[in-house]
Amino acid sequence: MSQPQIIQVFEQYQKARMQFVQSVALLAVRPHNTGGLQNVGVMALLRPLLLDVVPKVQQTAVLALGRLADHSEDLARVLVKEDVLPPLVHSLASQNRFYKKAAVFVLRAVAKHSPELAQAVVACGGADALVLCLEEFDPGVKEAAAWALGFIARHNAPLAQSVVDAGAVPLLVLCLLEPEIAIKRIAASTISDVARHTPELAQSVVDTGAVPHLAQMMLNPDAKLKRQVLSALCQISKHSVSLAEMIIEADVFPAAMSCLKDPDVYVRKNVTTLMREVVKHTPELSLMIVNCGGVAAVVDYLGDCRGDLRLPGIMMLGYVAAHSESLAMAVILSKGVPQLAVCLSEEPEPHVKAATAWSIGQIGRHTPEHAAAVTRANLLPKLLELYVDAASSEDLQAKCKKALKSVLQMCTYLPELESLLYDAPSNILKHVVCQLSKVLPHDSKARRLFVSSGGLKKLQEITAEPGSALQEHINTINNCFPEEIVRYYSPGYPEALLERVENYQPA
C-alpha cells in the first residue's frame, strides 16, 4: 500500500474515535441517557480512550466520563472501583489546561456523591493535585479545582481537614482576590464548606486572613457571590465566640444589614443567618447587633419573606431575647412580637412554628412587662391551641408548652389568665392558677372582677387531686374570698341548699 492510503486509514480511525467520544459526551449531557450508556458498556470503551494518542480525544473522553459520573452515583463508584482516578490525578500535573479542567471535573463529579467516594478521591492524592491546580494560571482550571475541593470538603470534618492539610485554604483566599466573579464565588463557597464542620477548621480558615477579604466582598453587586460570602461568614462565626468576634472586628455589621434589602432572597436569608450565628454567642455581641438596629431590620425582613426563609430571622429574635431582659425589651420595642404572631399564624410548617413558639417563650419569660407584651399580641391562646392540637408535631407541642409555661410564670394580666382557665389542660392550668393565686390576694378590684366574670365559678369546677400544687393554689384563692361566695359558686350548691330546705324543721 502507498503512504497516502496508510495515512487515510489512520485518519479515518482517528475521525471515528473523535466522533465516538464527542457523541458520547453529548449523550452524557442528558441524565436519562446514563442508564442506557452504562448498559452498553460505555466505561469499558471510554477507558482505553483516556490513554489515546490524540489529546483532544483524551480530553473529550475524560469529559464524557465526568458527565456520566456527575449524573449517577453508580457510575462514579464504578470509576473508583476500576482505578480510573489515580492515572487522572497523575496526569493532572503534566497535561494542558483543557485536559486539567476536564479531569478536575471528573474528580468533582465523583466526590460530590458521598463521603466514601470523596474519600476515595482524597486517597488517590486528589486533594493535593487539586491544590496544585489552584495554582494554575488559567481561571477556568482554578475555578474547577476550587469547586471540586468544595465538594470534597462539604461531606464531613475529616475530609475538610484533608483539604486543609493539602494547603488549599491560603490558595482559596488568593482565589478570592481574582478578578473573575465566578472564581470568587466558588472560592467563597469552598471556604464556607471547609469552615462549617469544626471550630478548628474555621480557625484555620480565619488564620489565613480570609475574613477581611470576605467582609470586603460582602457589598459586591453580584448576588450569588454575596450569597456565598455571607454563608462563608456565617459558617465561620457559628463555632465560637472568638470567631464571631473576629467577624465583628472585620466591620461586617452595619454594612451587612444593607444586604437585608437585597433583591435576592438567599442573600437576605444568609445575612439573617449570619446575624443569628453572631448573636447566639454572648449578650455583648447581641447588644452590638441590637444597637446597630439589626433587630428592626430582621423584623422587617420577617415581614418580607415566607416559609423557611423566615426561620433564621425568627431564631435570631429568640436568641437575642434569650440573653437578657433588656435585650428582650429591645426585641419587643422593635415590634418583634406582632411579627412573630404573624409568623405563628401564617406559617404552615411545624418546625417554623416551633421556632416561633420558642422565640416567643424567650421574649416573654423575663418580667411581667415582657409577658404583658406577649399577651397583648394575643399569643397565649394561639400557643395553647397549638399545644392542644393533636395534629401538631411533638417538638412543636413541647416548644409550645415550654413557651406557655415560661410566659405564664411571669404573666399578671388577669383577663388573659381567666380566659385560659376555661380551656387549658391541667398541666397548663397549674401555672395559670398559680399566677392567679399570686395576684388575687393583693388586689381587691381584681377579686371583684374575678367573681363577676365567672372566674371563681370556673375555679370551683376544677377538680384537683387533694394535696397537689393545683389544689393548694385553689385553696389560696378561695381563702381570699368570703366563705359564702365560695360556697355559692361551688358546683353542688343548689342541691345542698334544697337539702337544707328539706331538713329544715319549722319551729
Partner 1 sequence: MTTCKPTRKNNMTELHVIQSALEEFQREYFNRNSQAEENRRREHQAATQIQSWFRGCKVRAYLSYLHKKAIIIQKIWRGFTARARFRQMVKAAYFIMKMNFYEEMAVRIQRRWRGFFVRKYIHNFYARKRYLEGLYRKNEVVRRELRELEELQKRARESLEMVKEQRAKVKQAHHLHHLLSTKQCPGIFNSPFRPDPHEMELLLKQVKYQAPTRLASREEACALGMPGQAPPSLPGSPGSPGIKTTRTSNASKLKLPPIASRKQQDVFREPGEVWQQRVHCPDLTSRLQACYAQLEEAQSRLRQHESVRLRIGDNTGIQQRDKICTLPAEQQQRCFYSLGRRQELQIADYTQTPRGEVLPGTMGWLIRRLRANQVLYTTMSGHVCVCRRSEHFLPFTLD
Nearer to partner 1, 185 or 399 (CB): 185
Choice from 87, 139, 212, 381 touching partner 1 (CB under 8 A): 139
296 counts as binding partner 1 under rule CB under 8 A:
yes
What minimum distance in Å lies between the beta carbon of 48 and partner 1? 20
355 counts as binding partner 1 under rule CB under 8 A:
no
Other residues' Cβ atoms within 10 Å of the Cβ of residue 243: 23
Choice from 6, 7, 29, 485 touching partner 1 (CB under 8 A): 29
15 counts as binding partner 1 under rule CB under 8 A:
no
Per-residue binding string, partner 1, 50-89, x by CB under 8 A, is ------x---x--x--xx--x-------------------
312-341: contacts with partner 1 (CB under 8 A): 326, 329-330, 333-334
> Where do we find the cell 489552584?
134
Distances (CA, A) of 389 to 275, 385, 449: 33, 6, 31
Contact 360, 345 (CB under 8 A): no
306 counts as binding partner 1 under rule CB under 8 A:
no
Task: Give Cα 240 to chain centroid, integer Å.
Answer: 17
Contact 301, 268 (CB under 8 A): yes
Nearer to partner 1, 209 or 293 (CB): 293
388-417: contacts with partner 1 (CB under 8 A): none
Classify burial at 339, counting beta carbons within 10 Å of its beta carbon; exposed 0-12, middle 13-18, buried 19 or more.
buried
Nearer to partner 1, 99 or 481 (CB): 99
Q: What is the C-alpha to C-alpha distance for residues 236 and 442, in angstroms, rounded to an integer?
A: 53
Contact 428, 405 (CB under 8 A): yes
Choice from 73, 74, 245, 300 touching partner 1 (CB under 8 A): 300
Q: What is the C-alpha to C-alpha distance for residues 100 and 130, in angstroms, rounded to an integer?
A: 10
Q: What is the C-alpha to C-alpha distance for residues 92 and 106, in angstroms, rounded to an integer?
A: 11
Burial 134-148 (b: 16+ CB within 10 A, else e): bebeeebbbbbbbbb
Per-residue binding string, partner 1, 94-133, x by CB under 8 A, is ----x--xx-xx------x---------------------
Choice from 156, 291, 378, 475 touching partner 1 (CB under 8 A): 291
432 counts as binding partner 1 under rule CB under 8 A:
no
Classify burial at 498, counting beta carbons within 10 Å of its beta carbon; exposed 0-12, middle 13-18, buried 19 or more.
exposed
Nearer to partner 1, 227 or 382 (CB): 227
What minimum distance in Å lies between the beta carbon of 188 and partner 1? 8
Number of residues near partner 1 (by CB under 8 A): 53
143-182: contacts with partner 1 (CB under 8 A): 143-144, 147, 150, 154, 180, 182
SS3 content of the chain, % helix, strand, coil (to 5): 80, 0, 20
> Where do we find the cell 475521525?
15
Nearer to partner 1, 182 or 480 (CB): 182
- 3-state SS string over 334-350? CCHHHHHHHHHHHCCCH
342 counts as binding partner 1 under rule CB under 8 A:
no
Choice from 185, 238, 365, 401 touching partner 1 (CB under 8 A): 185
Q: What is the C-alpha to C-alpha distance for residues 405 and 409, in angstroms, rounded to an integer?
A: 6
The pair phi, psi for residue 97, each rounded to 5°, is: -70, -30
Name the site residues for partner 1 (rule: CB under 8 A). Answer: 22, 25-26, 29-31, 56, 60, 63, 66-67, 70, 98, 101-102, 104-105, 112, 139-140, 143-144, 147, 150, 154, 180, 182-183, 185-186, 189, 224, 227-228, 257-258, 260-263, 290-293, 295-297, 300, 326, 329-330, 333-334
